[in-house]
A and B are shown apart, each in its own frame.
Chain A
Amino acid sequence: MSDTPAGRPEAAPHRPRTYLDAGSSEPLRPIARDTFAAALDEGWADPLRLHSEGRRARLLFDSAREIVAAEMGCRPDDVSFPPSGTVAVHAGLSGLLTRRRPRLIHSAVEHSSVLHTADYYVASGGARDRVGVGRDGRVDVAALGDELDRVDGGPAVVAVQAANLESGAIHSVEQIATACADAEAPWFVDAAAIVGRLPVPPGWSVAAASAHKWGGPAGVGVMAVRRGAHWRAATVADERLDPRNPGYENIPAILAAAAALQDMAADAAARADRQRALTEKLRSRIAATIPDVEVIGPADERLPHVVACSFLYVDGEVLVTELDRLGYAAASGSACTSSTLEPSHVLAAMGVLTHGNVRISLTVDTTADELDEFLAALTEVVTSTRERLGAP
């Protein structure tokens, strides 16, 4: 007996789940699990102590720093592991705002942790300016240049992410780095979307990332502060292993994160090519198969594993819950799926449709067959939802 509500596509019984939300969190890499288990036995002691147990833990911490530093393109000592990507952004960006009270220039599509840091800065008397994006979600580099060149502007700090996980847009990081360098403005880069997937661009002063985006465990952020950056802890400092990141280090999780990163980075280029081909096909097939859809983000300068689109006359919440019922996990930036009932600031800044939004992001293991099946399910869900809503 089927208990499918009238007019809805029927869920196939016992169909395996297909997780298409790596943009929110890549499933834990098996090597991270193994490393974590081993490091619980080896890396539990206080790494500041001079006994063998402590020195062993210290060794593990140092090797995690080396691995992450190699990916970020900085020195091991530059790398800290705050307890999340969000904390890494808060501490990393705030630390650039403590001296000289610079003007904070950030893009309109930054992660909420950057926007919250900016709000906090403004509430404490700081100045901020936003730089917009094009319809494709890429930061307007000319507008950034104009903002930096403003004669009355004074010293500035720039926060522009490397890429955006809602639109898939990769920003013009080389030009952004050059614009910042020319204006002698430190560049804070939120690199969470690209670490372990694409090369981290040079030229930043402070960078942030998050291990669970690359298949590491949750609870491990990355804050990299390049030597010479005008960074000072905005909150209470510490005198432990890493003065920039207070508290007793979670070395097993940090080492597991580093192992996952090494694993992801090892075949990043080949995986990116494979994922780009898969998402290219999915983008064109969605546009060809389902009417009244806006496939968003740039055609070329985009994250290999992300496809985002908005369907006219469809409710984003219905879309993701119906897909979930059919066995597919996907995300949405539509207002009805957010806690605030505000549409995604990223979609709004791009000027694209915010309702009926769905973001599909491939895991390392996503196959072409899974995407074929997903497209069929998506087509069914969009069609039946439009019928029920009486869409024209």
Chain B
Amino acid sequence: MSGPAPDVTLDCTGERCPLPVIRLAQAIRSVAPGGVVRLLADDPAALADVPAWCRMRDQDLLGVDQTDGGPATFDVRRR
């Protein structure tokens, strides 16, 4: 995925929602405002829930990338 290099990368493959979103919420606190957390998740619910979390918690979803069959990659920037 293009864009800024992540400050933290979280591999949540194999985990079911809400765990990836909980780990994202914890990780976003570990970076400074403007910092980027990259999340990898293969739970289909993450495709809906990571954008919804960003909207509810007012964080920036920089992009979502999914190649066939692989886990989705989400880049989230802390506000």
> Which A residues are closer than 8 A to B by beta carbons?
292, 294, 310, 312-315, 334-336, 341-343, 347-348, 351-356, 389-392
The residues in B between 1 and 49 inclusive whose CB is less than 8 angstroms from any CB of A are: 16-19, 21-22, 25-26, 29, 43-45, 47-49
A351 B22 Cβ-Cβ under 8 A: no
Q: Smallest Cβ distance from A390 to chain B, in angstroms?
A: 7
Q: Smallest Cβ distance from B71 to chain A, in angstroms?
A: 15
Most-contacted residue by chain A among B29, B49, B55 (CB, 10 A)? B49
Decide: A355 near B18, CB < 8 A? Known: A313-B25, A392-B29. Answer: yes
Tell me the bound Cα distance from A390 to B51 in angstroms. Answer: 21
Among B17, B21, B22, contact of A335 (Cβ-Cβ < 8 Å): B17
Decide: A354 near B25, CB < 8 A? Known: A292-B56, A294-B56, A335-B16. Answer: no
> Which B residues are closer than 8 A to A by beta carbons?
16-19, 21-22, 25-26, 29, 43-45, 47-49, 51-53, 55-56
B21 A312 Cβ-Cβ under 8 A: yes
Tell me the bound Cα distance from A356 to B56 in angstroms. Answer: 14
Chain A residue contacts of B43, Cβ below 8 A: 335
Main secondary structure of the interface of B (DSSP, over half): helix
Main secondary structure of the interface of A (DSSP, over half): loop
Q: 10 shortest A-B CB distances, which residue pairs?
A: A355-B17, A353-B52, A335-B45, A343-B45, A355-B18, A392-B25, A348-B48, A354-B48, A354-B45, A313-B22
B44 A343 Cβ-Cβ under 8 A: yes
Tell me the bound Cα distance from A294 to B26 in angstroms. Answer: 20
Among B25, B29, B45, B55, contact of A355 (Cβ-Cβ < 8 Å): B45
Given pairs A313-B18, A355-B49, A392-B29, 8 additional interface contacts (CB within 8 A): A310-B52, A314-B18, A336-B17, A341-B44, A343-B17, A351-B55, A356-B18, A391-B18
Most-contacted residue by chain A among B21, B52, B53 (CB, 10 A)? B52
Chain A residue contacts of B19, Cβ below 8 A: 389
Chain B residue contacts of A391, Cβ below 8 A: 18, 22, 25
When C-beta atoms are compared, the residue in chain B nearest to A392 turns out to be B25
Decide: A343 near B18, CB < 8 A? Known: A312-B56, A353-B53. Answer: no
A342 B18 Cβ-Cβ under 8 A: no
Among A341, A342, A354, A392, contact of B49 (Cβ-Cβ < 8 Å): A354
B18 A335 Cβ-Cβ under 8 A: no
Q: Smallest Cβ distance from A229 to chain B, in angstroms?
A: 37
Among A341, A348, A392, contact of B22 (Cβ-Cβ < 8 Å): A392
Decide: A313 near B45, CB < 8 A? Known: A335-B16, A352-B52. Answer: no
B51 A351 Cβ-Cβ under 8 A: yes
Q: Smallest Cβ distance from A255 to chain B, in angstroms?
A: 43
A347 B18 Cβ-Cβ under 8 A: no
When C-beta atoms are compared, the residue in chain B nearest to A292 turns out to be B56
A294 B52 Cβ-Cβ under 8 A: yes
Q: Smallest Cβ distance from A164 to chain B, in angstroms?
A: 16
Chain A residue contacts of B16, Cβ below 8 A: 315, 335-336, 341
Q: Smallest Cβ distance from B13 to chain A, in angstroms?
A: 15
When C-beta atoms are compared, the residue in chain A nearest to B24 turns out to be A392
Q: Smallest Cβ distance from A249 to chain B, in angstroms?
A: 42
Chain A residue contacts of B45, Cβ below 8 A: 334-335, 342-343, 354-355
B21 A313 Cβ-Cβ under 8 A: yes
Q: Smallest Cβ distance from A345 to chain B, in angstroms?
A: 10
Listed by A's residue number, 24 A-B pairs whose Cβ atoms lie within 8 Å are A312-B18, A312-B25, A313-B21, A315-B17, A315-B18, A335-B16, A335-B45, A341-B16, A343-B44, A343-B45, A348-B47, A351-B51, A351-B55, A353-B48, A353-B52, A353-B56, A354-B48, A354-B49, A356-B18, A389-B18, A389-B19, A390-B22, A391-B18, A391-B22
